[in-house]
Amino acid sequence: MRRALLAAALVLALAACGFQLRGSARLPFETIYLPNATAGIALDLKRTIQAGTSTRVVDAPKDAQAVLEFTEEAREKEILSLTGAGRVREFNLHYRVRYRVHDGKGRQYIAPTTLAQVRNIFYSDSIILAKESEEQLLYRDMQNDMVQQIMRQLAAAQLK
């Protein structure tokens, strides 16, 4: 009985604060084509669209109401600081994508857009493998953030 009251109180509190599950996104087109969606951010975006929307990802641009093209995907590492001995102490990891969404007939849903993210990582020669893994995790996290940003922009897209 006490558990039921606690559960009810929790549900009431969450409802009162406006909390809602993310749910599926509504995209303004029924079909979309993503060329070269076999790796990287394009593959992640394809999976997100298939799993979280009613929009179908098609295999040919002629069958699509919208075409999402990635024109750039770049990962860069920049030295931020050095130790007194001249060894790297800190890096900035940069991740940048450029894309556009059009209807295949000259009109655009989203004009060419560049998204960029930067993460800072401390480096140590004594734990090289751990730092390499951390770097890959940070790039993966930036890619996931970009997928969510693109999904929000797709949901707000309008044909121009």
> Residue 126: what pLDDT?
83
CA distance 100 to 115: 11
Spacing of C-alpha 131 from chain mean position: 23
Handedness of CA 142, 147, 148, 149 (dihedral sign): positive
> Residue 9: what pLDDT?
58
Nearest to 32 by CA among 147, 109, 106, 146: 109
Say whether pLDDT at 115 is over 70: yes
> Residue 62: what pLDDT?
92
β-bridge partners, 72: 98
- Predicted TM-score (pTM) above 0.85: no
Domains, the chain, in order of start with CATH, read: 27-156 (3.30.160.150)
Instruction: Dig out the tokens for 107 from the structure.
Output: 């009109």
